[in-house]
Amino acid sequence: MLHRALLLLLVASGASGSAFAQADPNGILRSGPMLADVTHRGATVWVQTEAPALVEVTTASGARGQARTAHDGTASVALFGMEPGETTTYTVRVDGEEVVTAYPLEITTQELWQWRTDPPTFTLALGSCYYDNDTPYDRPDRAYADTLAFTRPYGGPTTIFRSIQRQRPNAMLWLGDNVYLREVDWWSPEGIDYRYAKSREAADLQPLLASTAHYATWDDHDFGPNDSDRSYIHKEAALETFKRFWPNPTYGASGVPGVFTQFEWGDAEVFLLDDRYHRAPNSAPANEREYLGAEQLRWLLDALTASRATFKIIANGGQILNPVQIFETYAAIAPVERAYFLEELRQRQIDGVVFLSGDRHHTELIRVERNGTYPLYDFTSSPLTAGASTYATREDSPEFENPVRVPGTLVAGVYNFGTLTFSGPRETRTLTMKTFDAAGDLLWEHAVNATDLRTPR
């Protein structure tokens, strides 16, 4: 336990992620606890232990649950029996021994406001592209790729996660590339497991994991190789690892595998998409290119049509709305499927739709006008720690003066994260989108009223 005490001092003082991994090789936990899937009366607590064990979680209010770890030490413990709007501490025990942390372990359940009051004010954090440095297997920074010289790590400081925690978000949406599989990882299930576990260990990440509800989708780098698609031979292994590390409410639909799911928070409903598992190769014949795939797209349109949420937040790894056919935007990869999807949104008169995306290694807010109905927004937030791109600022870039970009929202060459804050009375709700740099300083904000996201009738 002396080693454990040293670890707590390192965490409290903001030591690096590598210190967390090495300071306590014989400790109780490898990473976590992480909070996930918080509802009105329940929640899930995830951990990864150093050895197979029985994990028990108990809240101060009396809810309790237990689970045995999988082969890699991961366990997700489901809790039920709390009350709506309750803030309670929780305790984790591994084979009967209590886990001690230098930061709070708290759960705040969702408020029961329906039929009673105005919707609550709440905040969702968001980000994508988390590259955790691992020296033997790191790639050179793109700026120095011509020399292949490791003059600086490709991944930036993990202190950004402490800045996110200081915002005290109710939940965090991980928009893909949450892990960067390397060449040494993606050709075996064991390699995929290794990378997920290694990235989850960062000391700066642990306080954020412990008291904020986390929900995730993936993109190419946490699914398989760069630009990977449905042909990836280890996609089933990748899906199983994702399930063990991200305790989302569900994964896919009946008979349709994948990581897509949905959940509610306040008067927002979030639809997390899967743009990899069913995706055709990027170079497939134009008439065969699928991005989400017919079955997932049918599920999404049905779920959006059935939803009564004020805000319908569609979160995807890649950009949906950007019309520039560049890299892996929806417009570049599957323009026919994209056109069908957007036309269905219009024909079905689905109100309150806002898109979120990652992938691009820069941040921007896209606004697309539509004939006869309200405009659509796509808030791209990237990167958390992966190499920050300045390509969109170059005069030779096709995105240099993107006409659908909201002025003042391009953030290039800077690590950053975003937030969505939902506030105001029931009839005049407002969504405020913000971007912060790694230190937590505000870079821009843009507010949209719910009344401006409705189909004219």
Same domain, 215 and 325: yes
Whether the pLDDT of residue 28 is over 60: the answer is yes
The rounded distance, in Å, linking the Cα atoms of 412 and 427 is: 36
pLDDT single digits (tens) 36-72: 999 999 999 999 999 999 999 999 999 999 999 999 9
Same domain, 353 and 300: yes
Which positions ≥6 away from 305 have C-beta within 8 Å?
348, 350
Asked if 72 and 197 count as a contact pair (C-beta separation under 8 A), the reply is yes
Query: What is the arithmetic mean of pLDDT over 341-370?
Result: 98
Give percent above pLDDT 90 in the chain.
Answer: 90
Same domain, 52 and 142: no
Does residue 113 sit within a domain?
no
Whether the pLDDT of residue 330 is over 70: the answer is yes
Does residue 295 sit within a domain?
yes
The rounded distance, in Å, linking the Cα atoms of 315 and 271 is: 6
Asked if 145 and 395 count as a contact pair (C-beta separation under 8 A), the reply is no
Tokens of 209: 């994991």
Omega before 33 within 30 of 0, i.e. cis: yes
Structural domain for 354, as ranges: 122-453
Same domain, 267 and 139: yes
Tokens of 296: 């997932």
Tokens of 23: 């300071």
Same domain, 228 and 331: yes
366 exposed, middle or buried (CB, 10 Å; 0-12, 13-18, 19+)? buried
Tokens of 378: 């796509």
Same domain, 361 and 398: yes
CA dihedral sign of residues 348, 352, 355, 356:
negative
CA Rg value for the chain: 21
The CATH number assigned to the domain holding 28 equals 2.60.40.380
pLDDT bracket for residue 143 (50, 70, 90):
low
Query: What is the arithmetic mean of pLDDT over 258-283?
Result: 98
Where among 63, 83, 108 does a domain terminate? 108
Query: What is the arithmetic mean of pLDDT over 195-222?
Result: 98
Whether the pLDDT of residue 2 is over 50: the answer is no
Query: What is the arithmetic mean of pLDDT over 107-119?
Result: 98
Same domain, 80 and 142: no
- 217 three-class SS: strand
Q: For 335, what's the count of Cα atoms within 13 Å in the CB-facing half-sphere?
A: 10
List the one residue out of 37, 48, 92, 60 whose CA is nearest residue 270. Answer: 37
The rounded distance, in Å, linking the Cα atoms of 17 and 199 is: 9
Q: For 219, what's the count of Cα atoms within 13 Å in the CB-facing half-sphere?
A: 28
What average pLDDT does the structure give for the chain?
92
* 54 beta partners: 68
List the one residue out of 334, 333, 379, 335 whose CA is nearest residue 357. Answer: 379
Main-chain dihedrals φ then ψ at residue 71, nearest 5 degrees: -60, -25
Same domain, 238 and 333: yes
pTM of the model: 0.93
Whether the pLDDT of residue 146 is over 70: the answer is no
Query: What is the arithmetic mean of pLDDT over 107-127?
Result: 98
Where are the alpha helices (H) located in 320-415, listed in sequence order? 330-333, 335-347
Query: What is the arithmetic mean of pLDDT over 337-356?
Result: 98
The rounded distance, in Å, linking the Cα atoms of 198 and 18 is: 9
Same domain, 354 and 261: yes
Task: Give residue for tokens 């903001």.
Answer: 14
Query: What is the arithmetic mean of pLDDT over 135-156?
Result: 68
Where among 85, 108, 131 does a domain terminate? 108
Asked if 419 and 170 count as a contact pair (C-beta separation under 8 A), the reply is no
Element (H, E) at 316: strand 311-316
pLDDT bracket for residue 282 (50, 70, 90):
very high
pLDDT single digits (tens) 309-322: 999 999 999 999 99
Asked if 161 and 210 count as a contact pair (C-beta separation under 8 A), the reply is no
Same domain, 204 and 294: yes
Which amino acid, one-letter code, is at 394?
R
pLDDT bracket for residue 27 (50, 70, 90):
confident
Whether the pLDDT of residue 170 is over 50: the answer is yes
Same domain, 154 and 87: no
List the one residue out of 177, 119, 180, 174 whose CA is nearest residue 154. Answer: 180
Same domain, 52 and 80: yes
Query: What is the arithmetic mean of pLDDT over 129-147?
Result: 76
pLDDT single digits (tens) 345-354: 999 999 999 9
Number of domains into which the chain is organized: 2
